[in-house]
Amino acid sequence: MREQMQSMAARIDTLQSQLEAARADVAEANEAAGNAVKVATAAAENPPVKVGWKGAPKLTGKGGWSFKPRGRLQYDAGFTSAPEATGRSDGFGSEARRARLGIEGDIPGGFGYKFEVDLAGSDVEVTDAVLTYKDDGLKIAIGQQNNFQGLEELSTSRFTSFIERAAFSDAFGFERRVGISAQYITGDVMVQGGLFSDNMADLSNKSWSADGRVVFMPKMNDAQLHLGGSIHYSELKDASDTVRYRQRPFVHFTSNRFINTDAFSAESELGLGVEAAGIFGPFHAAAEGYWQKVSRPGMLADPTFFGGYVEAGYFLTGGDKRGYKKGVFGRVKPQNPVGEGGIGAFQVNVRYDYLDLTDAGIVGGTQNAYQVSLIWTPTDYTRFMLNYGRQMYDDAYYPAAGGDTSYGVDAFGMRAQVDF
């Protein structure tokens, strides 16, 4: 019996040791499981790549990396009506005005990038191809980009009051160019400037240009004010260089230009612009003027042409107003969008648009245009527009019956737009 009791005591000691070992294993397993849960929770709360939404997915990674697709699609349709005696084809027209697709993002160290192409025409056209660097109020950009030729020209086509910009913007050949620019914002003042060659599609050549713009943009209570001025100088280095200033009747889907200087020889261009705008709740007003002086070779007289506009707009839906950011008009964000129990934002706009292309022996004609638009913005990223314009011409390019060059042309346009 004594031997059996000793054997049992030894067995109990062994079982107790095994139990303590098992308890230690369980505790270790629990600790490991807890650590795994913590790691999984931390990974869920702080993933290596965060997915946001800004009209399209925006991916943000560690260290300052980001990537976002971008684009816009604009379909236009409508009609023009010109005096039959001019022989100009009119009536219904339509087009894909813009079909752009691109990418943008950030790179660690304050750098960024944007690349976008337009697929609307028969050829692929590069619109933006730029590398940027930002540091507080400073921004430096290298590549194909917008120059600094006025408020409406710099405001993206996604947010303009009419389906086309004012006549002088297109007539004077404003376009993106390859170059280097700098922008600095301090308080309510913004200064912009740059040196450029030519549009990417026209390179390589020896032409170059310089642009500068200054904007004062104070905010007084709920009112946003805007005052600015710009200067543009372009030197044409080829002895055979010519310029031509002309413009369509309000809509882009017609090829008729009733105001046209035809091509003439030129050595340089000097442009001076002034701009003013204000946003007061649902009401906004804007005006610009632009003088384009052309230096011609030899003893030829140097003409100065002028264009400008005055516009006003009002939101019919409560709480809506026009967007504004860093010296340009911005996105309209409906207070009560469609899909959230609302009807979106409705806005009406009126504009007087003037362009004079006659001076120093060059008779390109004069335009006095009266235009109105109705804009429905159902959501932040969708837009529908109805536009009507009555363009009155003097010294028009195409004569009517009896050689008459003073007459009117009507234009009606519609647009459906989505962007992201």
pLDDT tens digits for 293-343? 999 999 999 999 999 999 999 999 999 999 999 999 999 999 999 999 999
On whether both 1 and 127 belong to a single domain, the answer is: no
pLDDT band at residue 43 using 50, 70 and 90 as cut-offs: low
Q: Is the pLDDT of residue 272 over 90?
A: yes
Helix or strand holding residue 323 (H, E): strand 323-325
On whether both 284 and 189 belong to a single domain, the answer is: yes
Residue type, 85: A
On whether both 78 and 41 belong to a single domain, the answer is: no
CB 236 within 8 A of CB 209: no
pLDDT in tens, 118-158: 999 878 999 999 999 999 999 999 999 999 999 999 999 99
On whether both 79 and 40 belong to a single domain, the answer is: no
383 assigned to some structural domain: yes
On whether both 29 and 172 belong to a single domain, the answer is: no
What is the reported pLDDT for 325?
96
Give the CATH number for residue 388.
2.40.160.10
What is the reported pLDDT for 41?
60
58 assigned to some structural domain: no
Structure tokens at 391: 């363009």
d(CA 158, CA 100): 11
164 assigned to some structural domain: yes
On whether both 33 and 164 belong to a single domain, the answer is: no
On whether both 267 and 162 belong to a single domain, the answer is: yes
d(CA 154, CA 98): 16
What are the φ/ψ torsions at residue 85 (nearest 5 degrees)? -70, -15
By CB neighbour count within 10 A (0-12 exposed, 13-18 middle, 19+ buried), where does 53 fall? exposed
d(CA 255, CA 248): 7
Provide the 8-state DSSP code for 263.
Answer: -
104 assigned to some structural domain: no
pLDDT band at residue 6 using 50, 70 and 90 as cut-offs: confident
Residues 6+ apart with CB under 8 A from 402: none
52 assigned to some structural domain: no
Angle at 250 between CA 323 and CA 385, to 5 degrees: 45
CB 179 within 8 A of CB 195: yes
pLDDT band at residue 106 using 50, 70 and 90 as cut-offs: very high
d(CA 276, CA 282): 17
Residue type, 321: K
Q: Is the pLDDT of residue 59 over 70?
A: yes
Q: Which of 394, 369, 370 is nearest to 259 (CA)?
A: 394
Q: Is the pLDDT of residue 18 over 90?
A: no
pLDDT band at residue 40 using 50, 70 and 90 as cut-offs: low
pLDDT band at residue 20 using 50, 70 and 90 as cut-offs: confident
Rounded average pLDDT over 167-172: 98
d(CA 261, CA 237): 21
Q: Which of 137, 232, 151 is nearest to 183 (CA)?
A: 137
| Contacts of range 198-202, beta carbons closer than 8 Å, 24 or more positions apart | 199/144, 199/175, 200/126, 200/129, 200/144, 200/176, 201/125, 201/126
Rounded average pLDDT over 349-373: 98
The total domain count for the chain is 2
On whether both 88 and 37 belong to a single domain, the answer is: no
Across 167-204, b (16+ Cβ under 10 Å) vs e yields bbbbbbbbbbbbbebebebeeeebebbbebbbbeeeee
Residue type, 173: G
On whether both 33 and 86 belong to a single domain, the answer is: no
> Percent of the chain having pLDDT more than 90?
84
3-state class percentages of the chain: helix first, strand second, coil last, to nearest 5: 15, 55, 30
d(CA 131, CA 317): 39
On whether both 15 and 84 belong to a single domain, the answer is: no
124 assigned to some structural domain: yes
pLDDT band at residue 230 using 50, 70 and 90 as cut-offs: very high
Q: Which one has a higher pLDDT value, 3 or 223? A: 223
183 assigned to some structural domain: yes
What are the φ/ψ torsions at residue 7 (nearest 5 degrees)? -65, -40
109 assigned to some structural domain: no
On whether both 349 and 287 belong to a single domain, the answer is: yes
On whether both 162 and 240 belong to a single domain, the answer is: yes
Structural domain range at position 15: 1-45
